[in-house]
Amino acid sequence: MRVALLTVGDEILAGDTVNTNAAWLAEQVTDRGVDVERITVVPDRTADIAEAIEAFRTRYDAVIVTGGIGPTHDDVTMDAVAAAFDVALVEDQAALDWLAEHREYAREDLADGTAAIPAGARMIPNREGVAPGCVLANVYVFPGVPAEMKAMFEAVADDFSGADRHVEVVHVDEPESALLDRIETLDERFEVTVGSYPGETVRIKLSGRDQDAVERATAWLRERVELADSV
Amino acid sequence: MRVALLTVGDEILAGDTVNTNAAWLAEQVTDRGVDVERITVVPDRTADIAEAIEAFRTRYDAVIVTGGIGPTHDDVTMDAVAAAFDVALVEDQAALDWLAEHREYAREDLADGTAAIPAGARMIPNREGVAPGCVLANVYVFPGVPAEMKAMFEAVADDFSGADRHVEVVHVDEPESALLDRIETLDERFEVTVGSYPGETVRIKLSGRDQDAVERATAWLRERVELADSV
């Protein structure tokens, strides 16, 4: 399963906020064996959001959109999803009922548009806030407030699954340039994906579907490098 | 001036690493009056990187690419830039000379490809590491290691400038939903861009090219909301 994450928010494009929502979602779905193929951040503009959703929803198995939902004028994500699917935005009775029952909101307490989702979408209730999320075909729409986003993802997490992936990390206390021969051999000899990430030590990450192959490759590498003190 | 940031890295797509490079660059160029229109993260795969560069380099005034440069097998960004411009990758004499002079590397100390950049590109020396960056037309290529990336950006920072933008932030101690009327009035009455970001308090961000308009709008708002204790 291959997914794209789409983050809506001027505040991230301006560098005011680090995109921790995407990092959290990426880790969650990766842990479930799903491959994240793209993370894209777009401004709070209907056309930009709609264009990205249109491109991603045919290209990937699922798209998770976060941010830009709610009642203020800069919350245009639901309009954009509706535009991408060429459907109308409609006030959702299930959302109104849920808010009345769980939050004791009367309809007149809610700003116009709070409960509006694209026609044909399934509402996802917001257990940590007000504005509902939704799923339309393979597009999931969550709020940008982290607690609300996380609770909503948990509610649909079972939709995201893939083959198990096994991961091992080896911390090496040699310069990356000195490790090239061994990394190349690893790549040739074992059915694993190898990534090397230099920092204070070099992190070599070995991953693959075949646990045995990952373990053999890791053992092979550990015998042939200067291991850093484990952190 | 409108730019896109392209981050190369499986480790970000897997949620192992938060994309702080993009946040740092976004803040730097925003402070210089430049609009960041996209932040995209792609895997360490030549075709994916090249496709994004091709799309962005015609659409935006500049593209800043970070990550995936260096001598290991998963460092394919320079290949991708060359592919996007349909030019060859060539060993750069200026890079070799710089490394010999500043780091006292002999050519045979360097792994194959360390000093390779796309034909026609201008080399940017790496003052904090080894692998050089480059500029080709409006595409800037920096390493993913934060200290190396930052030093390289500083070397070309003057290329990034736009009209001054004035920003004010008001922290409000009311629910966002209660503020809708005043946010709408702000949006209608003043030549400013208004963003509202709910959290423990609601952050209202007012920005625009006209300092006077931003200040008048901010004063107008401050008189009409419950201000949160300044943080």
Q: Which residues of A touch B37 (CB under 8 A)?
A: 13, 43, 48
Tell me the one-letter amino acid at A80.
Answer: A
**Residue B33 counted as domain residue:** yes
Residues B132 and B81 in one domain: yes
pLDDT at B231 over 60: no
Contact between chains at A11 and B196 (C-beta distance less than 8 A): no
Looking at the domain assignment, is residue B199 inside a domain? yes
DSSP letter, residue B231: -
Scanning every residue of chain A, which has its alpha carbon at the shortest distance from the alpha carbon of B70? A177
Mean pLDDT of chain B: 92
User: What distance in Å separates residue A146's CA from the closest CA in chain B?
Assistant: 9
Residues 2-61 of B with CB under 8 A from A: 10-20, 22-28, 30, 35-44, 48
Question: Taking CB atoms and an 8 Å limit, are A19 and B18 in contact across chains?
Answer: yes
Q: Are residues B146 and B189 in the same domain?
A: no
* CA A17 – CA A14 distance, rounded (Å): 8
**CATH classification at residue A179:** 3.30.1370
Domain annotation covers residue B227: no
CA A31 to chain centroid? 11
Q: What SS3 class is residue B148?
A: helix
Judge whether A213 lies within some domain. yes
Number of domains in chain B: 2
Distance (Å, rounded) from C-alpha B195 to C-alpha A45? 12
Give residue-wise pLDDT tens across range A152-161.
999 999 999 8
- Please tell me if residue B197 touches chain A, with a CB cutoff of 8 Å: yes
Domain at A151, CATH number? 3.40.980.10
| CA distances to A8, A76, A130, A131, B35 from A127, in Å | 21, 21, 8, 10, 35
- Amino acid at the residue A67: G
- Evaluate whether residue A47 is within a structural domain: yes
Closest CA of chain B from A47, distance in Å: 12
Nearest of A169, A167, A175 to residue A231 by alpha carbon = A169
Percent share of chain A, pLDDT over 70: 99
Q: Provide, as residue numbers in chain B, all residues whose Cβ is less than 8 Å from the Cβ of A24.
A: 15
CB atoms within 10 A of CB B127: 14
Any domain includes B229: no
User: Which of these three, A159, A189, A209, is where a domain ends?
Assistant: A159
* Chain-chain contact of A18 with B23 (C-beta, under 8 angstroms): yes
**Nearest in space to A186 (alpha carbons), one of A172, A171, A207, A166:** A207
Together in a domain, B108 and B25:
yes
Q: How far apart are CA B107 and CA B46, in angstroms?
A: 26
Same domain as A173, residue A122:
no
Q: In this structure, are B152 and B45 located in the same domain?
A: yes
Q: Which residue of B has its CA nearest to A67?
A: B197
Same domain, A115 and A205: no
Are A89 and A27 members of one domain? yes
Residues A6 and A57 placed together within one structural domain of the fold: yes
CA quadruple A19, A58, A1, A129: dihedral positive or negative?
positive
Distance CA B131, CA B115 (A): 6
- Please report whether residue A229 resides in a domain: no
Confidence grade of residue B230 (pLDDT, cut at 50, 70, 90): low
> Is it the case that residue B187 has pLDDT exceeding 60?
yes
- pLDDT at residue A199, rounded to an integer: 78
Please identify, among B159, B181, B201, the residue that sits at the C-terminal boundary of a domain. Answer: B159
Distances (CA, A) of B217 to A6, B143, B205: 32, 41, 11
Parent domain of A201: 166-222
Which of A159, A183, A206 represents a domain boundary (last residue)?
Answer: A159
Residues B191-200: contacts with CB within 8 Å, 24+ apart? B192/B217, B194/A73, B194/A74, B195/A10, B195/A11, B195/A44, B195/A74, B196/A72, B196/A74, B197/A11, B197/A17, B198/A70, B198/A145, B199/A145
Nearest CA in chain B to A12: B23
On the question of pLDDT at A226 being above 60, the answer is yes
Helices (runs of H) and strands (runs of E) counted in chain A: 8, 11
Subunit contact B23:A19, Cβ cutoff 8 A: yes
Residues of A in contact with B67 (CB under 8 A): none
Region B135-152 average pLDDT: 96
A66-75, B53-62, B119-128, B209-218: which has the minimum mean pLDDT?
A66-75
Give the Cβ contact number of residue B104 at 10 Å: 8
Shortest Cα–Cα distance, A227 to chain B (Å): 19
Are A41 and A112 members of one domain?
A: yes
| CB neighbours of residue A32 within 10 Å | 16
Considering the domain architecture, whether residues A52 and A81 belong to the same structural domain is answered as yes
pLDDT level of residue A230 (50, 70, 90 thresholds): low
Whether residues B200 and B150 share a domain: the answer is no
Q: Does the residue B231 lie in any domain?
A: no
Query: In terms of domains, do A28 and A60 share one?
Result: yes
